[in-house]
Amino acid sequence: MAAAESYPDDVRYHPEHDWARVEDDEAVLGITWFAQDALGELVHFEPPEVGATVAKDASYGEVESVKAVSELIAPLSGEVIEVNQRVVDAPETVNEDPYGEGWLVRIRLADPAEVDALLDVDAYKQLLAEQ
Amino acid sequence: MKLIYERSQPGRRASAIPRYEGLPEPEVPEALRRREPPRLPEVPEFELVRHFTELSTRNFGVDTGFYPLGSCTMKYNPRVHERLVALPGFASLHPLQEEDGAQGALELMWRLQEILAEVTGLDAVSLQPAAGSQGELTGLMLVRAFFADRGEAEQRRKVVIPDSAHGTNPASVTMAGFEVTPVATDARGNVDLDDLRAKVDEHTAALMLTNPSTLGLFDENIVEIERIFHGAGALMYYDGANLNAVCGISRPGDMGFDIVHINLHKTFSQPHGGGGPGGGPIAVRGMLERFLPVPAVVRREDGSFGLDYDRPHTIGRVRGFAGPFGVFVRAYAFMRAYGPRLREMSETAVLNANYLLARLKEAYELPFDRLCMHEFVLSARNLKREHGITALDVAKRLMDYGFHPPTIYFPLIVPEALMIEPTETETKETLDAFCDAMLAIAREAAESPELLKEAPHTRPVKRLDEVRAAKHPIVKYGFDAHPEPGSEARPVATEAPRGS
Amino acid sequence: MTHPYLALTDADREAMLRTIGVASIEELFRDVPAEVRLDRELALEPPLSEQELSAHLAELAARNVDTTRELSFLGAGIYDHYVPAVVDAVLQRGELLTAYTPYQPEMSQGVLQAIFEYQTAICELTGMDVSNASGYDGTTVTADACYIAKHATGRTRVVVTEATSPQVRQVVKTYAPGFGLEVVEVPHRSGTTDPDELRAAAEGAAAVIFQQPNVFGCLEPAPELAAAANDAEALPVAHVDPLSLGVLEAPGRYGAAIAVGEGQAAGNFPSYGGPHYGFLAARREFIRRMPGRIVGETVDAAGERGYVLTLQTREQHIRREKATSNITTNQTLLALGGLVYLTWLGPQGLRELGETCLSLAAYARQRLVERAGLELLFPERATFKEFAVRVGRNAREVVRAARAHGVHPGYALGRDYEGMDDVLLVAVTEKRTPAEIDRLADVLAEVAR
């Protein structure tokens, strides 16, 4: 069962429909409600390895539905310190709870100043309205 | 319905293999010997025939009914072709037979090349590629060889592809070692010239275009496009998937294209066979001939036909032997049955498509308000907006009316796309029946949407769960370990034991 | 005048043009610029009726010397095995023959289930976990295997044995530059490949390709070759004869990662080289890298078992420039012929077929040495259904001379291998009889040396 549409204000947004929740020098990354709705029910999550470097605006992995595949775009740069195994085992968790249980990776931030370039919830909603 | 493996019983068989007394019986060295026999089916011949006959009754072909898949050109496959390919002189001819023992086959191939050169308006042809995709890849290898020969290989790494293009085009570009430069489509459905001018430069190797496009529209600016690409020193590649629209009317060579692939299983009636075989020959302008795959089929001065391997600039071989010969027999026969009347074939295809378009455009959304060529794209977006009905729902409901659905969700630039290509081998009654069904479905979308959501109702199976198939791939029969239909159990023993 | 494949009458056309709102068919082409219009008729010969067409094609076919007109021992990748009538019967069913790719599964359960059964048969033969729905032929599926290996290992070199078919090696080399791959060959040593030499060459390679039986018909030390590749962490790719797999071990059982091959011998006529089908099967870990279509099992809305194309996100129509391959149209109908053939054959039949080929080929070896006085090229090597002999003079001339007696004695290997201008590759299938082999020996006794 997919979640109801929502865009929480405790995360920052990337225009490619990815979010980041900053917690001190770490951040948790995921995809927004809009992204999971466009893809449909997810069937596969291809994560990066723990220890891999991710770069802001670059791809760090993929998610797939039956009919589409989508690159995951990193909102922030850093080192992968944890991958959400629950999503690897049950990718539909992202559809059910995209901002909670459906988180994808946790990273240690390389440059916390990058957060300023991300969109807040109002700016992201504005971007969606223009789509 | 049972799998053939579920009809199997140990000890049954259909085959009889000759055995001779008094001959040596060499043993395979122990280290190489098969230990466990493969679990092939064990059935008598009549069970085999019943099984495959039952399978065929669960399938729908052009022989069954109307099959308007856009860009697939599902036309009638003339039955006489099946008799012709079965002639022993074709079917039992070994590809390595000496040339003097294969003159009939070589002449057929040479004549087919000549016809394709005339139809495309180009100079030289290779029949070797096995399908349209392989023709594309071969064409791109020719592009690479051409520029390497001129010392421009490093400089020219980009291939321009419209956003309406079929997925094989960018996939082929990557496999050939180039990069994709996408170009937008304008409001008339033509390639956006401003976007194109901004993106074509001295780093461009080629354009890959199909004309008419996947939208079924003839690019009105094709003359200007030719100027832009040749002006930049780039080549033009024509994806021949939509050639059925323009035979005898406009030739890709005359449009300015330098390399063309032709889909023999689309325009020229090779049966699709449930997914293949096909044939993807390529035609090229003279300056590219020396790069074509080997062997080349040639006519010698003495009038005999042969295979020429002496091509020092060839890109190499792309497939075994000279190509899918059985496909050539059918395509050649088809072309000889039409001759110059191929033009009427295209005219009829275009007339049929425009007729459907005229009857359907009020009930569905028309993204580009123009006459179409041999196919056209409608959008079911209005049905989605007003009734929550998608192109998928329309497609599944069409099955209940006895039609194969059109192509859906392609091209990607049209939301809820329905791409419809009737071809020329349909009567007006069939076209009208299809339109009546499409209009009825549009009404059902408003009045009884659940009928569409739960469609199809009259096929051997109901709507299938593709999510489940992707999440828990079961890609072969597991014999004793095969899971029950619908069980959550992940098949564990379907993995073969590892070798040492 | 109507054409048999065109149905519209003048009345139809008039009614349709009226509905469209144009005055003529010519108006439908108004978007085509005058500069690119063909202003003449196509320069093609006039149309032929079905009867005329049949006569014309029959005349062309009559000028081919096929295996019904000449006793043939030609092999080298395409073989004259018996194709039973049930194959023709099934492939002529219009619902299968004229169907498209099964993208609409509810319309295509016949083809989908057949492909699932085919995938199962290929996995059983090769000892692998996943098979695709076919590739173009035995040469291109080998190139496909290189693409899988490159992406699975990140390495950019592939190793192939010289004893692998020349056409397979040629096609791999044609594809390699676009894949960014370097191709290195390992020579044969008296007809087979040395595992230690292969191990050395395999360092840093993505894949190691070998053929079993190899081009000379010889049995390679396949388990050792696979082990040599695995030692170097390169993927062992075995290119195998499907009809040998009743008597020879399955590649999956001796450590191969991928098994490929030409399917023609199993259920397709030679047909001057095509269309046929290439098979490709691999261990489960490579499932997401497989090129081409894969059919999976699922259930429908009523809980009934059914079949669909699955893992389509690998393919070109979804993944586009990042696809595992650009392949769309494949060789389904021919693979279906293979499935019908293998079903007809059964496991007993496959084993007997292998034993009969071994036996007849061994008899032929004996007769050519004793009766025709020829020398085996690799007398110490075990062979399957093909073997190489020296014929004492130019092999192509021997072929010509033998054909004047109505016998095609085999393939002249000198075209592809140095120092083998006097070598013939002789193939013996279950369609050859001992009397026919005696005739071959008699003819060669006369025309060789």
- Residue B497 confidence (pLDDT): 36
pLDDT tier, B412 (very low <50, low <70, confident <90, very high otherwise): confident
Average pLDDT of span C150-168: 96
Q: β-strand C71-72 against C407-408: which pairing, if any?
A: parallel
Query: Is the minimum CB–CB distance between C74 and chain B shorter than 8 Å?
Result: yes
B470 contacts in chain A (CB < 8 Å): 43-44, 64-66
Q: In what order do the strands lie in the sheet with A59-65?
A: A42-46, A59-65, A69-73
What is the phi-psi region of residue B321: left when phi exceeds 0, alpha when psi lies from -120 to 50, beta otherwise?
left
Worst-scoring range by mean pLDDT, B204-208, B481-485, C345-349?
B481-485
Mean pLDDT score of chain A: 93
Cis peptide before B456 (omega within 30 of 0): yes
Nearest chain A alpha carbon to B410:
A67
- Mutation target vs B (from A42, A63, A66; most B CBs, 10 A cutoff): A66
CA distance C303 to chain A (A): 19
A69 contacts in chain C (CB < 8 Å): 313, 318-319, 322
- Mutation target vs A (from B409, B463, B465, B466; most A CBs, 10 A cutoff): B466
Query: Is the minimum CB–CB distance between C85 and chain B shorter than 8 Å?
Result: no
CB neighbour burial string for B342-378, b if at least 16 within 10 angstroms, e if fewer: bbbbbbbbbbbbbbbbbbbeebbbebbebbbbbbbbb
* Cα B201 to Cα B172, B239, B258, distances in angstroms: 21, 22, 18
Query: Is the minimum CB–CB distance between C313 and chain A shorter than 8 Å?
Result: yes
Q: What is the pLDDT of residues C33-81, one digit of tens each?
A: 999 999 999 999 999 999 999 999 999 999 999 999 999 999 999 999 9
What is the phi-psi region of residue B85: left when phi exceeds 0, alpha when psi lies from -120 to 50, beta otherwise?
alpha
CA distance A42 to chain B (A): 8
Q: CB C317 to CB B410 under 8 A?
A: yes
Say if residue B29 is exposed, middle or buried (CB neighbours under 10 Å; 0-12, 13-18, 19+): exposed
Q: What is the pLDDT of residues A92-130, one digit of tens each?
A: 999 999 999 999 999 999 999 999 999 999 999 999 998
- Residue A119 confidence (pLDDT): 95
- pLDDT at B491 exceeding the cut of 50: no
pLDDT tier, C102 (very low <50, low <70, confident <90, very high otherwise): very high
- Chain C 94-123, CB below 8 Å of chain B: which residues? 94-102, 104-111, 113-117, 119-121, 123
A66 contacts in chain C (CB < 8 Å): 312-313
**Separation CA B370–CA B420 (nearest Å):** 15
Which has more pLDDT, B380 or A70? B380
Q: Where in chain C is the domain with CATH 3.90.1150.10?
A: 71-81+346-447
- Chain C 217-236, CB below 8 Å of chain B: which residues? 219, 221-223, 226-227
Tell me what ipTM this predicted complex has.
Answer: 0.97
- pLDDT at B498 exceeding the cut of 70: no
The architecture (CATH level 2) of B83-340 comes to 3-Layer(aba) Sandwich (3.40)
Average pLDDT of span B19-39: 96
Report the percentage of chain C scoring pLDDT > 90: 93
Question: Could you say which of C288, C318, C322 has the minimum Cβ distance to residue A68?
Answer: C318
Report the percentage of chain A scoring pLDDT > 90: 86
Q: CB A69 to CB C312 under 8 A?
A: no
Q: CB A68 to CB C313 under 8 A?
A: yes
- pLDDT at B52 exceeding the cut of 50: yes
Lookup result for tokens 């992968």: A80
Average pLDDT of span B8-24: 96
Average pLDDT of span C308-318: 83
Question: Could you say which of B16, B115, B456 has the minimum Cβ distance to residue C106?
Answer: B456
pLDDT tier, B175 (very low <50, low <70, confident <90, very high otherwise): confident
Do residues C212 and B210 lie in contact, with contact meaning Cβ atoms separated by under 8 Å? no
**Separation CA A8–CA B215 (nearest Å):** 40
pLDDT tier, B486 (very low <50, low <70, confident <90, very high otherwise): low
- pLDDT at B485 exceeding the cut of 80: no
Q: What is the pLDDT of residues A20-63, one digit of tens each?
A: 999 999 999 999 999 998 888 999 999 999 999 999 999 999 99
- Chain C 140-169, CB below 8 Å of chain B: which residues? 140, 147, 167
- Chain C 336-365, CB below 8 Å of chain A: which residues? none
Parse chain B into domains and list their residue ranges.
Answer: 83-340
Question: Could you say which of B277, B341, B399 has the minimum Cβ distance to residue C3?
Answer: B341
CA distance B69 to chain A (A): 18
Which has more pLDDT, C449 or C102? C102
What is this structure's pTM?
Answer: 0.94
Q: Where in chain C is the domain with CATH 3.40.640.10?
A: 86-339
Q: CB C319 to CB A69 under 8 A?
A: yes
**Separation CA C292–CA C134 (nearest Å):** 7
pLDDT tier, B500 (very low <50, low <70, confident <90, very high otherwise): very low
Do residues C38 and B246 lie in contact, with contact meaning Cβ atoms separated by under 8 Å? no
Q: CB A91 to CB B471 under 8 A?
A: yes
**Separation CA C304–CA B197 (nearest Å):** 54
CA distance B471 to chain A (A): 5
Q: Which CATH number fits domain A16-124: 2.70.150.10, 3.40.190.10, 2.40.50.100, 3.30.1380.20?
A: 2.40.50.100
Question: Could you say which of B29, B345, B465 has the minimum Cβ distance to residue C298?
Answer: B465
- Residue B487 confidence (pLDDT): 64
Q: What is the pLDDT of residues B303-351, one digit of tens each?
A: 999 999 999 999 999 999 999 999 999 999 999 999 999 999 999 999 9
**Separation CA C408–CA B100 (nearest Å):** 13
CA distance A22 to chain B (A): 31
- pLDDT at B494 exceeding the cut of 60: no
pLDDT tier, B488 (very low <50, low <70, confident <90, very high otherwise): low
- Residue C1 confidence (pLDDT): 59
Mean pLDDT score of chain B: 94
Question: Could you say which of B31, B168, B477 has the minimum Cβ distance to residue C120?
Answer: B477
Average pLDDT of span B369-395: 95
Query: Is the minimum CB–CB distance between B474 and chain C shorter than 8 Å?
Result: yes
Crossing angle (nearest 10°) for helices B342-360 and B428-447? 20
Do residues B137 and C326 lie in contact, with contact meaning Cβ atoms separated by under 8 Å? yes
Domain C71-81+346-447 classification at class level: alpha beta
**Separation CA B406–CA B51 (nearest Å):** 29
- pLDDT at A15 exceeding the cut of 50: yes
Domain C86-339 classification at class level: alpha beta
- Residue C3 confidence (pLDDT): 82
- Residue C391 confidence (pLDDT): 96
Q: What is the pLDDT of residues C390-431, one digit of tens each?
A: 999 999 999 999 999 999 999 999 999 999 999 999 999 999
pLDDT tier, B490 (very low <50, low <70, confident <90, very high otherwise): very low
Average pLDDT of span B123-152: 96
- Residue A105 confidence (pLDDT): 97
Continuous H helices in C371-411: 395-403
Tokens, residue C340: 């019908």
B467 contacts in chain A (CB < 8 Å): 40-41, 43, 65-66
Lookup result for tokens 């044995």: C161
Q: What is the pLDDT of residues C431-444, one digit of tens each?
A: 999 999 999 999 99
Question: Could you say which of C48, C64, C106 has the minimum Cβ distance to residue B101?
Answer: C64
Nearest chain A alpha carbon to B408:
A67
Mean pLDDT score of chain C: 96
Do residues C113 and B58 lie in contact, with contact meaning Cβ atoms separated by under 8 Å? yes
- pLDDT at C130 exceeding the cut of 50: yes
Q: What is the pLDDT of residues B428-458, one digit of tens each?
A: 999 999 999 999 999 999 999 999 999 999 9
Question: Could you say which of C96, C223, C312 has the minimum Cβ distance to residue B56?
Answer: C96
